[in-house]
Amino acid sequence: NAGVTQTPKFQVLKTGQSMTLQCAQDMNHNSMYWYRQDPGMGLRLIYYSASEGTTDKGEVPNGYNVSRLNKREFSLRLESAAPSQTSVYFCASSFDLNTEAFFGQGTRLTVV
């Protein structure tokens, strides 16, 4: 039972490069989320998708874009990476916006 799977697990980017973080869930959940985790800041919501076909901004959306490709997959794109985007990124999913979220194992991204 995979749950929420994120790829890659680690990534180093140069400033200005772009990349897409992939997330897939196999729990038939409707809602999916992207968070970033920084020391002393907890987790902060970047974007979320309440259901297939919808996406909304979270607390810290600047510099990111998302795509809800289908019910299973929700990707996060950095168009022009900046050192301030060095962080650990977590994807999560839940049956709906009112139920428990399950988290992936994270992607550690370093922008140099």
Instruction: Check residue 51 for interaction with another protein (CB under 8 A).
Output: no
Cβ proximity to another protein: between 17 and 102 the closer is 102
Instruction: Check residue 98 for interaction with another protein (CB under 8 A).
Output: yes
Instruction: Check residue 53 for interaction with another protein (CB under 8 A).
Output: no
Query: Interface with another protein by CB under 8 A: which range of 22-30, 39-47, 63-71, 75-83?
Result: 39-47
Whether the CB-CB separation of 102 and 93 falls below 8 Å is answered with yes
Distance CA 76, CA 78 (A): 7
Cβ proximity to another protein: between 19 and 50 the closer is 50
| Chosen residue from 46, 74, 104, 109 binding another protein by CB under 8 A | 104
Total count of residues recorded for the chain: 112
Residue type, 88: V
Distance CA 44, CA 60 (A): 7
Instruction: Check residue 42 for interaction with another protein (CB under 8 A).
Output: yes
Whether the CB-CB separation of 45 and 61 falls below 8 Å is answered with no
Which tokens sit at 20? 């897409």
Which positions lie near another protein, rule CB under 8 A? Answer: 4, 40-45, 50, 58-59, 90, 92, 97-98, 100-106
